[in-house]
């Protein structure tokens, strides 16, 4: 991954990137509509990066209304060569406790009605992309090695269950997800990952456990709890991102 320009997609809790020396903001117009906001170009850890807040810079776009196609298309056409997606998730299995970072290696898609492919019209032939391993192995390894180097207590694999949102899941739904093999639950993992694959953009996720999933903790899930856990974990996210950038 020589001369890689890394794109960072920030999720809930990461609407700006501390330490980024901003050089310019780029407004992109795409064949699929408007992205979540301008692309922020800058320098982080001595390397060029591009940052985009998935839910908008004011965090106003819910998961089911994110224009995933426009976001991924814009990053590709801005010249980035790899994408790290930061995502807040709920922890299902025991080791996925709040505030831990997780680098999932698999995903199960439970979303519906989202524009989920670039290959749906004006085709000269039917296109199928391999999605056996949904996250780029090399980029995942860079994230894992970065976390090890700086001694972050991260989980190095897991299955992400992508749900529709914006509501949180029921306890019975979380039980079903666990039976299906999911370790984490979130609302933005798909179709973002497969759209990146369709455009041949290496893509990996740095998930941040914001809370126990429904029925796994005590009482109801509150947004105060989510915000508190994300605020505590984001310093580690930034450290991992910086260490990963240095290794590219």
Residues 112-145: pLDDT tens digits?
999 999 888 777 778 889 999 999 999 999 999 9
Residue 168 to residue 78: CA distance in whole angstroms: 34
The 8 Å CB, 24+ separation contacts for 18-25 are 18/238, 19/44, 19/45, 19/238, 19/242, 20/44, 20/49, 20/51
User: Could you report the per-residue pLDDT of 167-219, keeping only the tens digit for each?
Assistant: 999 999 999 999 999 999 999 999 999 999 999 999 999 999 999 999 999 88
Ligand-binding annotation for 212, yes or no, is: yes
Does 54 show up as a binding residue in the annotation? yes
- Going from the N-terminus, what domains does the chain have, and what CATH number goes with each? 6-247 (3.40.50.1580)
Q: What is the DSSP letter of 7?
A: E
Euclidean distance between CA atoms 57 and 41, whole angstroms: 14
Q: Is 236 annotated as a binding residue?
A: no
Q: pLDDT by residue (tens digit) across 27-69?
A: 999 999 999 999 999 998 888 999 999 999 888 999 999 999 9
187 is in an annotated binding site: yes
Tell me: is residue 55 an annotated ligand-binding position.
yes
Using the predicted structure, report yes or no on whether residue 3 has a pLDDT greater than 60. yes
DSSP reduced 3-state for 151: coil
Alpha-carbon distance 111 to 62, whole Å? 14
Q: pTM of the prediction?
A: 0.92
What are the tens digits of pLDDT across the range 100-116?
999 999 999 999 999 99
163 assigned ligand-binding residue: no
């Amino acid at each position: 991954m020589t001369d890689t320009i890394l794109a960072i997609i920030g999720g809930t809790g990461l609407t700006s990137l501390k330490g980024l020396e901003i050089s310019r903001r780029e407004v992109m117009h795409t064949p699929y509509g408007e992205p979540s906001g301008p692309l922020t170009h800058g320098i982080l850890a001595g390397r060029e990066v591009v940052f985009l807040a998935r839910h908008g810079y004011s965090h106003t776009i819910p998961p089911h209304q994110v224009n995933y196609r426009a976001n991924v298309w814009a990053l590709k056409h801005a010249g980035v060569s790899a994408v790290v997606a930061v995502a807040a998730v709920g922890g299902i299995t025991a080791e996925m406790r709040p505030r831990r970072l997780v680098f999932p290696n698999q995903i199960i898609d439970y979303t519906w009605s989202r524009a989920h492919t670039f290959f749906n019209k004006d085709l000269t032939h039917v296109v199928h992309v391999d999605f056996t391993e949904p996250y780029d192995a090399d980029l995942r390894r860079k994230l894992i090695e970065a976390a090890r180097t700086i001694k972050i207590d991260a989980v190095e694999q897991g299955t992400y269950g992508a749900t529709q949102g914006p509501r949180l899941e029921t306890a019975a739904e979380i039980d079903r997800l666990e039976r299906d093999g999911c370790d984490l639950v979130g609302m933005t993992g798909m179709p973002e990952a497969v759209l990146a694959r369709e455009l041949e953009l290496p893509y990996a996720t740095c998930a941040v456990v914001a809370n126990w999933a429904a029925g796994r903790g005590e009482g109801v899930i509150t947004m105060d709890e989510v915000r508190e856990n994300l605020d505590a974990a984001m310093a580690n996210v930034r450290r991992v991102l910086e260490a990963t950038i240095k290794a590219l």
